[in-house]
């Protein structure tokens, strides 16, 4: 059980690393916004995984906040992309 949770955490970190490659390569702002959105939501999943691993239910609040903040950030970036085009 312990090792399986660690394996899942490794896979999630690998997924975040792949999304970070897209964040670095772009091209352009919309691609980077998509990569950031994915990274934030995967961070929420990682927080829930930490809650399981270390028996700390406070980390579920971290997951809620991450999901909230990523949505607000994505909406702000979408507004910026749309305004920057005009």
Q: C-alpha distances in angstroms, 84 versus 22, 36, 74, 78?
A: 21, 19, 15, 10
Contact string (CB under 8 A) for other proteins, positions 40-79, x = contact: -xx-xx--xx-xx----x--xx-xx--xx-xx--xx-xxx
Alpha-carbon span 81 to 2, nearest angstrom: 43
Q: How far is the CB of 51 from other proteins (least distance, A)?
A: 5
**d(C-alpha 52, C-alpha 65), whole Å:** 18
The C-alpha atoms of residue 66 and residue 77 are separated, in whole angstroms, by: 16
Contact between 4 and other proteins (CB under 8 A)? yes
* Contacts with other proteins, residue ranges (CB under 8 A): 1, 4-5, 7-8, 11-12, 14-19, 21-22, 28-31, 33-35, 37-38, 41-42, 44-45, 48-49, 51-52, 57, 60-61, 63-64, 67-68, 70-71, 74-75, 77-79, 81-82, 84-85
């Amino acid at each position: 059980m312990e090792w399986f949770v660690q394996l899942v955490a490794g896979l999630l970190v690998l997924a975040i690393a792949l999304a970070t490659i897209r964040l670095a390569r772009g091209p352009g702002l919309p691609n980077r916004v998509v990569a950031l959105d994915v990274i934030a939501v995967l961070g929420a999943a990682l927080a829930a995984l930490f809650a399981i691993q270390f028996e700390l239910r406070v980390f579920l609040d971290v997951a809620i906040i991450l999901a909230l903040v990523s949505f607000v950030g994505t909406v702000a970036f979408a507004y910026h992309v749309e305004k920057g085009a005009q």
